[in-house]
Amino acid sequence: MRILVVSQYYWPESFRINEVVDVLRKQGCEVTVLTGQPNYPGGTVYEGYRAAAMGTQAHAGYVIHRVPIAPRGQRSALRLAANYLSFLVSGSLLGPWLLRGQRFDLIFVFGMSPILQILPGVVLKWLKRAPLVTWVQDLWPQSLEVTGFVTNRRVLDAVAVAVRWLYRRNDLLLVQSRGFIEEVQRMAGRTPVEYHPNPGELAFEAPQSGPSPLTLDPGFNVVFAGNMGTVQALETVVEAARLLQHEPGIRFVLVGSGSRSEWVQAEIGRLGLRNIQLPGRFKPEAMPGILAQASVLLVSLARSPIMSQTIPSKVQAYLAAGKPIIASLDGEGARVVTEAQAGLACPAEDAPALAAAVSALHAAGEAQLQQMGLNSRACYEAQFQPDQLAAQLITRLEKLLDDRKRPHSREPARPRGRTSDDAR
């Protein structure tokens, strides 16, 4: 199967679609990628790339086509909007030129925010006469409202109209959380919507070699790993740490970076907290070794209807690490942890409840913590293992292609002999 993957974000940026492509190729698919110039998360284009460049790059046995993009910068809503818009325009206008003469069985869009990046996929669907599948990672326009990026109701309504139009140009929509299905289907019309979760990270499938770049101090380490942005409810984490600051041995280690990193650092100084560490961001391949040192792993989200429908991608990484998990969030993410008996869940943005959950696991016996860790890994193997999910994805895509080859197969058979139409 020849698949064109369209994603604004791609290697050497660290996103789950990188590993999905690797596993699809391992299972026999021919994959080509259309993406922009790498600039996430720092906001500046990576060394060896140019923002205005357009070209083709060979990587690990397949081809990546890159279109120009406006770097996202840092803490600038205007530059971020320009970043999003530049990929829509260059992907739609220049992407077809880069892909001229190439044929694909299917076009697959990795639907990160902004979900409007489906547009280049729609254009290529028309030009290549190939079915279009989008894997929806965020709900739009709800994500815009929750993050505070857009508050104007007219703008949000206009985005909703655009998203509805884009969804309905797809042949299949996949969603990363069961909680997304109803909302996406409401906007998608007749386009089918199916659940396909994010897989775990391939780094957890390979044996670890070499020392970890970060060594945690002895004690009960509550490790948070990943983006430190507005929706991660870091105010709740800092307040829980303040409530536990006199508990001996308990330490919060926030590994990563993001728009709220400086705020967290300032709060640590203002409150005089000595039980929070900010070691910074590390490469994805280093994360298994870091998470393996944790006593428990922490995932947190803001309180909102859309966040309760989301499964943060770090949940899969935590399950793969085989460690107890504290889920300071509502809805789908909490459900995965509690159903797997992989740890404890507490309401989103409830600092006393988070502090109580940390205290409870700190007081738990080693055997109980070990069993939670085993349950975490078992859940990962059963639901989020990359090879297994890639095989399921290929089956879905092959069924879509087979159905398109038999366009009349769903119509009821016509009765033999004369019909009322024949008699006219």
One digit per residue, the tens of pLDDT, for the chain of length 424 reads 999 999 999 999 989 899 999 999 999 999 999 999 999 988 999 999 999 999 999 999 999 999 999 999 887 778 988 999 999 999 999 999 999 999 999 999 999 988 899 999 999 999 999 999 999 999 888 777 766 666 778 888 898 999 999 999 999 999 999 999 999 999 999 999 999 999 987 666 655 667 889 999 999 999 999 999 889 999 999 999 999 999 999 999 999 998 899 999 999 999 999 999 999 999 888 899 999 999 999 999 999 888 888 898 899 999 999 999 999 999 999 999 999 999 999 999 999 999 999 999 999 999 999 999 999 999 999 999 999 999 999 999 999 999 988 755 444 444 433 333 333 3
In a domain, 50, yes or no: yes
CATH code of 244's domain: 3.40.50.2000
Same domain, 121 and 181: yes
Please tell me the distance from the alpha carbon of residue 176 to that of residue 158, in angstroms, as a whole number. Answer: 24
User: In the 8-state DSSP scheme, what is residue 216?
Assistant: P
Residue-number span of the structural domain to which 224 is assigned: 205-383
> Is there a single domain that holds both residue 354 and residue 398?
no
Q: Does 117 share its domain with 249?
A: no
| Measured distance CA(222)–CA(295) in Å, rounded | 6
Domain membership flag for residue 417? no
Q: Are residues 128 and 271 located together in one domain of the fold?
A: no
Domain count, the chain: 2
User: Same domain for 141 and 241?
Assistant: no
Smallest CA-to-CA distance from 399 within 106, 125, 184 is with 106
Strands (E), 191-342: 193-195, 220-225, 250-255, 276-280, 296-300, 325-328
Q: Are 117 and 85 in contact (CB under 8 A)?
A: no
Residues 310, 401 share a domain: no
39 within some domain: yes
Q: Are residues 99 and 181 in the same domain?
A: yes
Residue 35 lies in a domain: yes
Q: Identify whether residues 66 and 92 lie together within a single domain.
A: yes
**Within-domain flag for 415:** no
Same domain, 158 and 215: no
Read off the tokens for 108: 């697959």
Q: Report cis status (omega within 30 of 0) of the bond before 218.
A: no
Judged on CB neighbours under 10 Å (0-12, 13-18, 19+), 160 is middle
Q: Does 217 share its domain with 125? A: no
In a domain, 125, yes or no: yes
Q: Are residues 338 and 361 in the same domain?
A: yes
Dihedral angle, C-alpha 386, 326, 347, 193, nearest 10 °: 0
Cis peptide before 96 (omega within 30 of 0): no
Residues 379, 262: one domain? yes
| Any domain includes 78 | yes
Nearest to 298 by CA among 240, 246, 244, 368: 240
Report how far apart the first and last C-alpha atoms of the chain are (Å, whole number): 46
In sequence order, the 6+-apart residues with CB closer than 8 A to the CB of 115 are 134, 136, 138, 140, 163, 166
Question: How far is it between the farthest Cα atoms of the chain?
Answer: 90
In a domain, 152, yes or no: yes
